[in-house]
Amino acid sequence: MTKQCPIGIFDSGVGGLSVTREIRRLLPGEDILYFADSAYCPYGTKTPQEINARSATICRFLLAEGAKMIVVACNTASIAGLDLLRQLFTVPIVGMEPAIKPASLATRNGKIGVMATGVTINGDRFHSLLEKYSNGVTVYTQPCPGLVEAVENGQSSAPATRLLLQKYLAPMLAAGVDTIVLGCTHYPFLRETVQKICGPEVKLIDTGQAVARQVERVLKQHDLQHTAAASGRELFYTSGDPEAVGKVISTLWGKQVQVQKKSI
């Protein structure tokens, strides 16, 4: 494995692009392999065992394609099995977790909301996070079924998606939260609508930039930073329909990209 090898990134679908765009911004010289597991999306309705099996299969694929490190750009897969993946593979693996710590520091009234998938909210790792970082803060959690599918289907700005968001945000807003954690990598693509519904006083927090900084730190630690100053390439793969997924990825990535089908 060399510095010139790509970074492998995966998510249940296109959500991980909200993390990948931050990695691209911070590390313009790195090559990136992105795997969207669209045929198995959403992960939020699957068992941790099913999710972990998919994560391991995708990691094996990315490593076979030469990845020098793996980024699990999915809160659900990270909560379900990050430790397990670190036992299975020797390359550095960076995962994610909902931003409970930054939200607990940011709140002014001691009330925060967390939007995430059911698997994330029920995960042991999530409960440890709450115990560790939510001292003196009341946390209102909200599973949000349907939002991942809306982003996957290119319906982020659709009226039906706004209605769904209004429904999920209402209990947290009624409780008076002043800070909301976007605890799923798909949700930053709904940020504008969420902000409009909540109003400007509510602070929204996601971890895309923090994860990108962690990727940079880990690459440095392992002496794996690409030597090129810029022009890293991206290759996109999906287990789903490459044309349909390609359309959505091109919109979210901001340029026309080709997506290759990989039935793994």
CB of 184 to ligand DGL, least distance (A): 4
Nearer to ligand DGL, 95 or 224 (CB): 95
Nearer to ligand DGL, 11 or 234 (CB): 11
Residue 96 half-sphere exposure, CB side, CA atoms within 13 Å?
33
Question: From the CB of residue 227, how many other CB atoms can be counted at a distance below 10 Å?
Answer: 8
Binding residues for ligand DGL, per CB under 6 A? 11-12, 15, 41-44, 74-76, 117, 120, 148, 184-186
CB of 29 to ligand DGL, least distance (A): 26
**E strand segments, 166-247:** 179-182, 203-205, 234-238
In this chain, which residue has its C-beta nearest to ligand DGL?
Answer: 44
Nearer to ligand DGL, 44 or 240 (CB): 44
The three-class DSSP label of residue 72 is: strand
Question: From the CB of residue 97, how many other CB atoms can be counted at a distance below 10 Å?
Answer: 23
CB of 193 to ligand DGL, least distance (A): 17
The three-class DSSP label of residue 30 is: coil
Residues 98, 96: Cα–Cα separation, whole Å: 7
6 DSSP assignment: P
The catalytic position among 5, 74, 144, 198 is 74
5 is catalytic: no
Nearer to ligand DGL, 79 or 91 (CB): 79
For the chain, the maximum distance between any two Cα atoms, rounded to a whole number of angstroms, is 52
184 is catalytic: yes
CB of 209 to ligand DGL, least distance (A): 15
Catalytic residue set:
74, 184
